[in-house]
Amino acid sequence: MLQNKKLSSKAVDFIDDEHIEALMNIERPSKERVREIIAKSLAKEALSVEETASLIAADEELTEEIFAAARMLKDKVYGNRIVLFAPLYIGNKCINDCKYCAFKRSNKDVKRRTLSFDEITRQVTALEDVGHKRLILVFGEHADYDADFIAECVKKVYSIKSGHGEIRRVNINAAPLSKQDFAKVKNAGIGTYQVFMETYHHETYRKMHPPGTAKGDYMYRLDSLSRAFEAGCDDVGIGALFGLYDWRFDLLGLVSHSIFLKDSYGVGPHTISFPRLQPAAGVDIDSAYSVSDHDFKKLVAILRLAVPYTGLILTARENPELRREMMAFGVSQIDAGSRIEIGGYTEFGDAQVMNCEQFLLGDIRSLDEVIKELADDDFLPSFCTSCYRLGRTGEHFMEFAIPGFIKRFCTPNALTTFMEYLVDYASDETVKSGQRLIDKELSQIKDEKIKKELIKRLEAIKTTEKRNMCF
C-alpha cells in the first residue's frame, strides 16, 4: 500500500494556486451576473470554478438569494430526503504526523488499537440493533490496514445480521491505494471510497503534512481517486477540512477536483464532505482560518449550487442546532448516533473519550433522536441503498439524469426503509412523528399505480417479516 507510488494515466496537478488566489480577489460581480449564475445552477448545470468564485464574491445582500436557491436546487435534485449513516472506526494506527489529527504518530496521548473481527461483530451488531443500514469504515494510514485487510473487514461487516438488522452499504475512508489495490476493495463490494485532500493549498498542505510521511506526497494523494476510477470504482468521495486555510480557496479546490474527475472520467464525485476543524487530544494548531457559522452556511450553499449532481455530507462534528438549520441548504447525507472512539458503540457509555477518538464530536444524540427531529421538520429519513444494489449507478447521478426518478424510485424507497426503521427500532414518539410524515408523503404521490404498490409494501413491512423491498 505504501510502497507503490505509480500514478494514474491522467495524473496532473490541476490545482493552480495563483489562479485560485486571483479568483478569491476578483471584483464584486453585478447582481445581474450573480442571478445568471444562480439560474444556470437551478437548471442543474454544474458551475465553473470562475462562476463559483463569483458567488463567493457576491454582495452580502445576495446571500439570502444564494441560500434560497440552494434550498430549491436540493429539493429539485433530492427532494426532502436525508440519507443516514454511521462511521465505524476500525483502527487508529498511523504512520503520518498530520498536525491537526489526534491519530498522528507523534501523539503519545492517544490509545492505539485495531478492532479484531470479534470486536467488529460486536460494534456492527450494536449499530444494527438501533437501526443502521449504512456504514463508513474508517482506517488510519498504516501497513496493517492494506487493501486485503480493508476487503476482509468489508466482507465481515456484510456478513453480520442481527434480527431484522443488516448493513446494506459499506463505504470506506482510508489511505490512497494503488490501482491494483483499489480493484481489490471494489471487488469486496464497497460503496463509496473517500479520500480527502484536507486542504488543496500547496504550502498549507506541506505545513500540515510533514515531508517524508506517506501523506506528505501531495500529488499521490491528489491523484488517488483517478486511480480509483481506472480500477473500476465509479463511486468516490472528496472532501476538505475547513479551517486549515482560507475557506474560499478550499471551496474552489473542491469544485476544481469535481470538474477534473467529471472531465477525465465522465463522472464527478458521488459525495463531497466539508468538515470543520474541531478540538482533538494532543492537537494544538493555529486557528487563524477558523470558519464562522455564517461563512460555513454560505460555503455549503455555494457548493450545492456549484455541483448539483453531487451528494453533500454534513457530519456530526457540528452541533445539533446548526445541523438542524443547515438541513435545507443542500445537505443530502448526515451521520447520526455516531461514536468515533475505537469500540465506541459498546464500550464508553454516553461520554466522549478524547484520547480514544480522532476529534471532538458536536452531536452525539442517538439515531432515534435525530430521526424524530428530521421527521418533525418534514425531512424524510432514508436508509435506501437500492440504486447501488440494483446497478443504477455510473454516469450522471440518477436523480439528475432521469426525469421523474425521485417520484418513481427515490421517495418510495426512502419511505419503505423509513417504515422498516419505525416498525423495528423507533421509540413511540418517533413512530407518531414518522407515521404523520409517511401519510403526508403518500398524499403527495399523484401516480396511483405507484401509490397503490407503495401502500401494499408499507403494510407488508408492518404486518409481516418482509424487508428490503426496493423499487
> Exposed, middle or buried by CB within 10 Å (0-12, 13-18, 19+), for 44?
middle
User: How far apart (Å, rounded) are the C-alpha atoms in residues 124 and 404?
Assistant: 35
Same domain for 209 and 245? yes
User: How far apart (Å, rounded) are the C-alpha atoms in residues 203 and 216?
Assistant: 11
Q: Which of 140, 138, 150 is nearest to 95 (CA)?
A: 140
Q: Which of 407, 305, 244 is nearest to 73 (CA)?
A: 305
User: How far apart (Å, rounded) are the C-alpha atoms in residues 249 and 202?
Assistant: 11
Which stretch of DSSP H or E encloses residue 334? strand 333-335
433 contacts: CB under 8 Å, gap ≥ 6 = 372, 375, 376
Domain that holds residue 48: 17-72
Same domain for 272 and 306? yes
Same domain for 136 and 216? yes
Per-residue model confidence as pLDDT tens for the chain (471 residues): 445 689 999 999 999 999 999 999 999 999 999 999 999 999 999 999 999 999 999 999 999 999 999 999 999 888 899 999 999 999 999 999 999 999 999 999 999 999 999 999 999 999 999 999 999 999 999 999 999 999 999 999 999 999 999 999 999 999 999 999 999 999 999 999 999 999 999 999 999 999 999 999 999 999 999 999 999 998 999 999 999 999 999 999 999 999 999 999 999 999 999 999 999 999 988 779 999 999 999 999 999 999 998 999 999 999 999 999 999 889 999 999 999 999 999 999 888 999 999 999 999 999 999 999 999 999 999 998 765 555 555 544 444 444 555 556 788 999 999 999 999 999 999 999 999 999 999 999 998 999 999 999 999 999 998 887 776
Which stretches of 92-133 are assigned E, i.e. beta strand? Answer: none
Same domain for 30 and 96? no
User: How far apart (Å, rounded) are the C-alpha atoms in residues 295 and 197?
Assistant: 20
pTM equals 0.95
User: How far apart (Å, rounded) are the C-alpha atoms in residues 129 and 148?
Assistant: 28
Same domain for 331 and 455? no
Q: For the chain, how big is the Rg over CA atoms in Å?
A: 21
Same domain for 58 and 123? no
Task: Examine residue 263 and state whether it is found in any structural domain, yes or no.
Answer: yes
User: How far apart (Å, rounded) are the C-alpha atoms in residues 420 and 274?
Assistant: 30
Residue 99 is part of a domain; what is its CATH number? Answer: 3.20.20.70
